[in-house]
Amino acid sequence: MSLVLAAAMCMGVVAESHGQDTRRRRRTEEAKPVELTPAQVAELTRLANERKLNADDLMAAAKTFMPSGRHDDYVLFSSGGQSGQVFAIGVPSMRLLRSISVFTPESWQGYGFAGDNDHVIESLKINGKVVAWGDTHHPALSETKGDYDGEWLFIGDKANARVAVIDLRDWETKQIVKNPLTISDHGAAFVTPNTEYVIEGGQYATVLGYGYAPPEEYKKSYRGMVTLWKFDRAKGRIDVANSFALELPPYWQDLADAGKNASDGWFFINSFNVEMATGGVEKGNPPFEAGASKRDTDYLHIVDWKKAEAVFKAGKAKAINGFPVITLDTSAAEGILYFAPEPKSPHGVDVSPNGQYMVVAGKLDPHVTVYSIDKIKAAIAGKKFSGKDEYGISVLDFDAVVEAQVELGLGPLHTQFDDKGYAYTSLFLDSAVARWTLGGEYAKLNPEQPWKLVHKTPVQYNIGHLCAAEGDTVSPDGGYLISMSKWSVDRFLTTGPLLPQNFQLLDISATGTTMPVIYDSPIGVGEPHYCQMIKADKLKSWKVYPEVGWNPHTQRLDPNAPKKGQEGVKRDGSNVLVTMTAIRSHFTPEHVEIQEGDHVTWRITAIETTQDATHGFCIGGYNVNLSLEPGEYAEFSFVADRPGTYPFYCTEFCSALHLEMMGYLHVKPRGAAEAAPAVPSTPVAAGSN
């Protein structure tokens, strides 16, 4: 063996043993109590003055800085807006940990780049057309007894009415379902307290089942809907066969939230455009924005989902586009759906941790309106109705169901909760986060009067959603709150006319009027809407796949996964099967010789077991790139319709000899002078290790 080769292999060995490298150190323990020397205080003061930092800035830095190797306390799962993805961000450092591909192909993760018939691309088809993006709005972590359990994450695509299921063991998308009734949605996804159902609420009314009717027939033919997707936790998939929907009037349903504790068994949906305005500025009609805001009230939809489930199971749903739908008549007759008036164009509805209160924020009303589930139940039982809507649904008497109205400021949108009896509401027009007190059993938790505004912290600028630590569960943690500010304007360096959104971290650990912004984080990849913040130690993520040859799509060992020593290229007519393994720092085999026109199936196992020893695999010109995480098995196929010599290589810098981790795909032109060489049909000898 030459010296050079010996040295190179040695480097490979060093790289391969990296996982056990004792030089790696991570700071997990708390540092010793700090005592700054006078010299350090002087240096810190000098630095602060040099960088123009005040005492609050130093405090904010101390609250958010993560020493190298220290882990964050929380993970924020954020919608990625038009990027179609989910972002995972550490809190309090606000460091981006990962983008999870959901509705948009993404090459680093090899998501949608596995040749022809890629299962991701197949799953993105709507009516036969690949729709390769999404407008993700509302992520929903799976819950057990109303608390995040860290197992699954769901997210809706507003543009195309799809819901995705992400497995939080490997943080990969496992399933995408397309709503069979509606083209676009909005109130997705929300889960019931034990993740029995993943709820997908709609928004813009259409003719259910992708039908057509002119706007003149709006009231007669257009409808809203809410879909209850049954989640099968054992299978980790939405069980479409046991899912159903409710027909709703063509009011534009907006956000939704599931009841919990006192309101378990119910869910709540806002609406706007109860006016049923049909717009048409081009014909001299009032535009939607005016037409949909004429009335003083819209309707809070109150749904008894346990009753709806029983009605569905009793076979009383009617099929639309092959999907079971409980009609408005059935909902009215069975007492599944009720309305309560809610002030002017509401946006968010959020259920308090004890399930007692539903907080509705009206975009055009400076108050939040708080409904009580006890009062709602009593009003339904006592038939305290103020009438019926045009579709026969009973409207509850407003005064009979409202607990409080709290004046907060301009443009209230969304509300979250903490562990101290406070609620937090985003004020879009005021550009502020309002802290206010809950009443009832929460009144004893804080010193202020119940149902009162306590404080407003300005944010920059125009906050949409906000998110407190586990702030929409039965047991919020308090401590941190994210302001998902829509505009950043002057907060960062200018990035051309398109500017990032601004996630701002607020410290909500103190009571009263202390609630400072302690970090600004630009999000330059899409416009996120909602996010949820989970305690990091609830996540039980895999470090590597459980076994070598693991198929992430089935989440089990795959019988087709190539094993070491069995690699090779086999031909059957014009079908070629490539069986490959990948390990630092080589693919086996390294040469793959085929004929133009061959149908190629290519299987690769990453036979690594070391954490983070990920390889990539690309074939330039054939639109193939895979991410081969330790233990992962992947398969792709393509038709070799372009002859030539194609280097394939590893796209992750995996070792000192990463650049050498390559090989050639030789596609011989049809009718080349030399007859096709017999490609080896016996396994190729394994590599040098």
Strands 367-372 and 402-407: antiparallel
Of the candidate residues 377, 384, 652, 683, the single one contacting ligand CUA (CB under 6 A)? 652
Q: How many residues bind ligand CUA (CB under 6 A)?
A: 8
In the complex, least distance from residue 465 CB atom to ligand CUK, rounded to whole angstroms? 5
- Show Cβ contacts of residue 652 under 8 Å, excluding neighbours closer than 6 positions: 614, 615, 616, 627, 658
Q: Which of residues 502-531 bind ligand CUK (CB under 6 A)?
A: 529-530
Positive or negative: CA dihedral 34, 38, 44, 49:
positive
- The neighbour count for residue 684, using CB atoms within 10 Å, is 18
Select from ligand CUA, ligand CUK, none the partner in contact with residue 654, using the beta carbon and a kind-dependent cut-off of 5 to 8 Å.
ligand CUA
Q: Report the C-alpha gap between 457 and 598 in whole angstroms.
A: 64
Amino acid at 95: R
Q: Which of residues 133-162 bind ligand CUK (CB under 6 A)?
A: 137-138
Q: Identify which range of 12-20, 124-132, 588-596, 652-660 contacts ligand CUA by CB under 6 A.
A: 652-660
Select from ligand CUA, ligand CUK, none the partner in contact with residue 529, using the beta carbon and a kind-dependent cut-off of 5 to 8 Å.
ligand CUK
In the complex, least distance from residue 487 CB atom to ligand CUA, rounded to whole angstroms? 41
Output 250 or 464, the one with its CB closest to ligand CUK.
464
In the complex, least distance from residue 527 CB atom to ligand CUK, rounded to whole angstroms? 8
Angle ∠(451,472,139) on CA atoms, nearest 5? 140
For the beta sheet containing 172-178, the strands, ordered from the edge strand earlier in sequence to the opposite edge, are 136-144, 147-157, 162-167, 172-178
Output 422 or 602, the one with its CB closest to ligand CUA.
602
- The neighbour count for residue 397, using CB atoms within 10 Å, is 17
Q: Report the C-alpha gap between 80 and 136 in whole angstroms.
A: 6
Of the candidate residues 18, 169, 367, 615, the single one contacting ligand CUA (CB under 6 A)? 615
305: alpha, beta or left, given left = phi > 0 and alpha = psi -120 to 50?
alpha
Q: Identify which range of 23-31, 126-134, 288-296, 650-658 contacts ligand CUA by CB under 6 A.
A: 650-658
Virtual torsion, Cα 531, 533, 538, 544, nearest 10 deg: 50
In the complex, least distance from residue 135 CB atom to ligand CUK, rounded to whole angstroms? 8
- Show Cβ contacts of residue 339 under 8 Å, excluding neighbours closer than 6 positions: 299, 300, 301, 302, 389, 393, 394, 395, 396
Q: How distant is the alpha carbon of residue 304 from its chain centre?
A: 26
Site track 457-476 with ligand CUK (rule: CB under 6 A), x = hit: -------xx-----------
DSSP annotation of 365 reads S
In the complex, least distance from residue 341 CB atom to ligand CUK, rounded to whole angstroms? 21
Of the candidate residues 650, 665, 667, 679, the single one contacting ligand CUA (CB under 6 A)? 650
Output 65 or 653, the one with its CB closest to ligand CUA.
653
Amino acid at 128: G
Burial code of 320-339, b = ≥16 C-beta within 10 A, e = fewer? beebbbbbbebbbebebbbb
For position 618 contacting ligand CUA by CB under 6 A, the verdict is no
DSSP of 87-133, one letter per residue? EEEEETT--EEEEEPSSS-BTTTTBT-BBBT-HHHHHTEETTEE---
Select from ligand CUA, ligand CUK, none the partner in contact with residue 652, using the beta carbon and a kind-dependent cut-off of 5 to 8 Å.
ligand CUA
Site track 561-600 with ligand CUA (rule: CB under 6 A), x = hit: ------------------------x---------------
For position 654 contacting ligand CUA by CB under 6 A, the verdict is yes
Contact 212, 292 (CB under 8 A): no
In the complex, least distance from residue 163 CB atom to ligand CUK, rounded to whole angstroms? 14
Of the candidate residues 379, 413, 592, 684, the single one contacting ligand CUK (CB under 6 A)? 413
For position 363 contacting ligand CUA by CB under 6 A, the verdict is no
For position 363 contacting ligand CUK by CB under 6 A, the verdict is no
Select from ligand CUK, ligand CUA, none the partner in contact with residue 650, using the beta carbon and a kind-dependent cut-off of 5 to 8 Å.
ligand CUA
In the complex, least distance from residue 155 CB atom to ligand CUK, rounded to whole angstroms? 11
Residue 557 tokens read as 């060992």
Contact 137, 508 (CB under 8 A): no
Select from ligand CUK, ligand CUA, none the partner in contact with residue 456, using the beta carbon and a kind-dependent cut-off of 5 to 8 Å.
none
Amino acid at 23: R
Q: Which residues bind ligand CUK (CB under 6 A)?
A: 137-138, 186, 255, 347, 413-414, 464-465, 529-530
- Give contact residues for ligand CUA (rule: CB under 6 A): 585, 615, 650, 652-654, 658, 661
